Structure 1
């Protein structure tokens, strides 16, 4: 028996995760709890920075015409999905991390860049010695009462600490017992944000979507 796997991340990331789950023979259920929207922003001053750090593909998707001002900067991407989005937008990706923002920053500095700018979301983890330019926001969605009943007996994917906290609040609102829900989380920090009492919880080996889907498969199939 295979349990359904609930995807909470916003579009278009939810569709990419759904494809991975389907390819693994699992049943994806999309229930986005956030909606991503662009914000008005001012491009960086020419010559003020020596590298562009990208820690989310959403920054590329929602930057709009202002992205043209960043084309001369070498790009360090947090992971392959972000690198692919940057490359498709015509940016010069010179280094790709393994999904961790702090490690990606260290990679940039190891390459000799010290005047780093990041296009990022309003809700983000602050990084030392990085100039942040906010280009998008991820707004929480509140589904109708009872919607989270779909989590009963399912495996729920948690891609961020913010998603974990929002999900916890909604299952408590809808009276869903943690003992009826299995969690696959992208990192130890997300595990801590989700708290205890779940039927099962498993942490991805690396902080990326592919690893999260792989660990979800171990929870979704009852043997």
Structure 2
């Protein structure tokens, strides 16, 4: 059976693998990165009228200080982020399936002005429009040794790339001769572009989420 290689950090990697198995796919885990919490200073709640998270890792790794913001209107990019926020006690979460700029436009339309964005040390740019956004990193993503990746790269394998950073690292690890027998499914056009050229195929779903990536993988593996 064609292997589907999942490169994202835990716990997302295991979640993707479980979804893949339910779809009849053969997932192989080879995380290139790991998420780690960092110390952060929580700004005063009264300085904001909305909270945004663009990654589920912010909810999972933000720690006890997240509770300070439970009363704020909460926004998330992606259903996985919204679920992680709900697990940490946030309620009435509004989520969008596009990107940070799209949800920022929604927040503005809802009449919010002062936004706290909790995320990683590196995040995709957000067009703020009229919003005043304060970004506070609560976690970082560090590289893991890529031991085992090349053993999984059999012909026609499908690689799931969940971020531009993962795409860039994959491009550095896999030489052009290997690429021509491997397929890329990336979470976004930016992540796909970061993978470079020369792959057997490359595509991204219309909306950036894991379920849609796996639906594309099912089609490739049929």
TM range (shorter): over 0.9
Match of 2:213 in 1: 212
Decide whether the 8 Å contact of 2:8 with 2:31 is kept in 1.
Answer: yes
Alignment partner of 1:164 is 2:167: yes
TM-score normalised over the length of structure 1? 0.92
| Structure 2: gaps spanning 5 or more residues | none
Separation in 2, partners of 1:116, 1:208: 24
RMSD: 1.5
In structure 2, the residue matched to 1:196 is 197
1:147 aligns with 2:146: no
The answer to whether the 8 A contact 2:82-2:93 is kept is: no
Is 1:130 equivalent to 2:129 in the alignment? Answer: no
In 2: Cα distance, 1:106 partner to 1:45 partner = 24
1:55 correspondence with 2:57: no
Q: In structure 2, how many angstroms separate the alpha carbons of the residues matched to 1:25 and 1:46?
A: 45
Change (3 A) 1:193 1:186: same
Does the aligned pair in 1 maintain the 2:30–2:149 contact within 8 Å? no
TM-score by length of 2: 0.92
CA gap 1:130/1:148 in 2 versus in 1, 3 angstroms? farther
Instruction: Describe how 1:15-94 pairs up with structure 2 within 5 A.
Output: 15-94=14-93
Gaps of 5+ in 1: none
Whether the aligned pair in 2 keeps the contact of 1:8 and 1:33 (CA below 8 Å) is: yes
What per-residue deviation string (whole Å, max 9, x for no partner) do you get for residues 9-60 of structure 1? 0111011111111111110000000010000001121310000001111001
Residue 122 of structure 1: how far off its partner (Å): 0.4
Could you tell me whether the CA contact under 8 Å between 2:73 and 2:92 is conserved in 1? Answer: yes
